[in-house]
Amino acid sequence: MTTKASAQTFELLTPCFCAGASKAEPEMRIASIRGQLRWWTRVLYGVGKAEYELFGGIHGTRIGYGDEAVASSFKLSLTPLPNNPALGESCLVPHKENMRGFWAQAISPQSRFTLAWIPQLHPDFRYKPIDKIGGETRISRLEQVLKAWMLLGTIGRRATRASGSVWPVGYLPTVEAFNTAITALNLPATVKVAVLNAAAVNPSQTPEELRAIADKTVHRLRKGNILGDPLGFVSSRDRKASPLRFKVGRFEDGHRLIAIWDDRNGRGGNLADARAKMTASLGSQLAAWLTAAGL
């Protein structure tokens, strides 16, 4: 078994509203990253044991383990790069930027971090990373999950609306090469990915302008106004996470908005209805892009 650490450096393309014990102090945390990786594990490999095989958990007996506590197969560590930009203040909700109280402390774009992972060395589970799960090693599954997060994921508050967009440092694909990489992830058929404004050559929008476009999906659109609430909603304690997610990506000729449509278990709702209502609001640009992308 190898005990050598592997690592990937990533960069934030948009402000990241991620915090630790103090909600007022931005902080990139392993716990937050692990939460994102768990979510992508469920997307790629299903709920339950697949997630526990990589990251452990506290309800092991529910999915066939002998004990409730199941240790993670991997240890993750995070190192911020020197000379990162200072923490800044950004608009938390861009479509309400002219209203008081919607600005918040954030980790600034262009901040870089190195995420490293290594198999745990405790004797009770030191062989887990090299045994097989469905014909794959644990390390290959972990690396697939990490790739999905880096290419399609975000982190922090407003993460479904392109805040906290992460991107591998040095990765500048064409749209075609990016789509090939996404195909290799083997996402379930109910999860669709589209590069918006894909036909544009040398797209001119900045990451912040693209984040603002993504955030206008919900402008003036309330719960129950769209069939199945495909954009999600929050109404007191009643809420639904958005099945339509966005992130900003950096391509060889500029930045583009990437859309992820998560209709697992039929939870998506009527996206066509949402597009029609966006067209009549400030989300018309986004609606046109989604239509052109076939979403």
- pLDDT score recorded for residue 275: 85
Which of 147, 171, 195 is the last residue in one of the domains? 171
Answer yes or no: is 179 within a domain.
no
Residues 5 and 148 in one domain: yes
Residue 52, SS3 per DSSP:
helix
Residues 36 and 142 in one domain: yes
Task: Give CA–CA dist 210/255, Å, rounded.
Answer: 8
Mean pLDDT by 10 residues, the chain (295 residues): 72 91 83 94 88 85 80 90 91 71 86 91 52 70 94 93 95 96 95 91 92 76 73 75 92 96 88 80 79 90
Answer yes or no: is 275 within a domain.
yes
- pLDDT score recorded for residue 150: 96
In the numeric block, which tokens belong to residue 197?
């404004």
Which of 171, 205, 231 is the last residue in one of the domains? 171
Place of tokens 């200072």: 86
Answer yes or no: is 177 within a domain.
no
Number of domains in the chain: 2
Its sign, for the CA torsion 175, 179, 180, 184, is: positive
Domain span holding position 7: 1-171
Which of 171, 195, 219 is the last residue in one of the domains? 171
Residues 158 and 236 in one domain: no
Residues 103 and 228 in one domain: no
Residues 256 and 293 in one domain: yes
- pLDDT score recorded for residue 167: 98
- pLDDT score recorded for residue 101: 57
Answer yes or no: is 176 within a domain.
no
Residues 35 and 142 in one domain: yes
- pLDDT score recorded for residue 219: 60
Answer yes or no: is 206 within a domain.
yes
Instruction: Look up the pTM and report it.
Output: 0.89
- pLDDT score recorded for residue 217: 67
Residues 11 and 109 in one domain: yes
Identify whether the C-beta of residue 187 lies closer than 8 Å to the C-beta of residue 139. no
- pLDDT score recorded for residue 1: 36
